[in-house]
């Protein structure tokens, strides 16, 4: 099963990077699959560590999908890394193996520590819709514009029905980003 998380990694200078990533979940082993061009991949390769943060705040997924935000975070307990303050719980990961076959790596890790801060509030359709919209926003170069607009319209209906203020804010951020982006998949360029 894939669980959507905010992965925190640090570079050789100690700068923290925050990125939404789906990870293959296991109690003891977690597999992370960053594309080779991501900062997450470079940092994990350099440090051999990462932290998987689980949070119900979808605004963080939205913002980190389209920019490089800094969020409040503290030091991890066991690995060289950082724990997101907004995490409900987290897993600290030590790399066991890296398969860097392009375009996407496969990094097998061992869970060496975990912690919890607060309750993860239950499922919500609007939160799921925001996550799907965040994914869309990272695939503008692959999906035809008409398909993106049609997906957006469906997702917005779900948000309108079930969102709280944080989900509305996240959806607005993503919609503005997508509508103002000039990125197009190759086949629809110039049309």
Ligand X SMILES: Cc1cc2nc3c(=O)[nH]c(=O)nc-3n(C[C@H](O)[C@H](O)[C@H](O)COP(=O)(O)O)c2cc1C
Binding site for ligand X (CB under 6 A): 4, 17, 19-22, 33-35, 38-40, 61, 65, 68, 131, 134-135, 138
Residue 191 CB, shortest distance to ligand X, in Å, is 26
On whether the CB atoms of residues 167 and 133 are closer than 8 A, the answer is: no
Compare residues 19 and 190 and give the one whose CB is closer to ligand X: 19
Q: 10 Å Cβ neighbour count for 3? A: 14
Give phi and psi for 188, each to the nearest 5. -105, 5
Residue 30 CB, shortest distance to ligand X, in Å, is 12
Asked if the bond preceding 141 is cis, omega within 30° of 0, the reply is: no
- Rg (C-alpha) for the chain, rounded Å, is 17
Compare residues 67 and 188 and give the one whose CB is closer to ligand X: 67
Compare residues 2 and 157 and give the one whose CB is closer to ligand X: 2
Three-state DSSP class for residue 59: helix
Residue 3 CB, shortest distance to ligand X, in Å, is 10
Residue 190 CB, shortest distance to ligand X, in Å, is 26
């Amino acid at each position: 099963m894939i669980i959507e998380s905010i992965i925190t990694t640090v570079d050789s200078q100690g700068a923290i990077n925050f990125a939404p990533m789906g990870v293959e979940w296991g109690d003891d082993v977690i597999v992370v699959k960053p594309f080779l061009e991501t900062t997450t991949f470079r940092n994990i390769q350099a440090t051999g560590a990462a932290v998987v943060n689980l949070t119900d705040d979808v605004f963080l997924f939205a913002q980190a999908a389209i920019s490089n935000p800094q969020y409040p975070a503290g030091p991890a307990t066991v690995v060289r890394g950082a724990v997101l303050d907004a995490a409900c719980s987290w897993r600290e990961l030590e790399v066991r193996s890296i398969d860097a076959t392009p375009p996407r790596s496969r990094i097998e890790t061992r869970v060496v520590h975990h912690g919890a801060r607060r309750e993860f509030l239950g499922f919500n359709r609007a939160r799921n819709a925001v996550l799907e919209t965040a994914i869309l926003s990272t695939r503008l170069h692959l999906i035809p514009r008409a398909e993106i607009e049609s997906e957006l319209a469906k997702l917005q209906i779900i948000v309108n029905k079930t969102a709280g203020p944080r989900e509305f804010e996240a959806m607005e951020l993503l919609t503005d980003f997508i509508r103002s982006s000039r990125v197009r998949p190759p086949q629809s360029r110039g049309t």
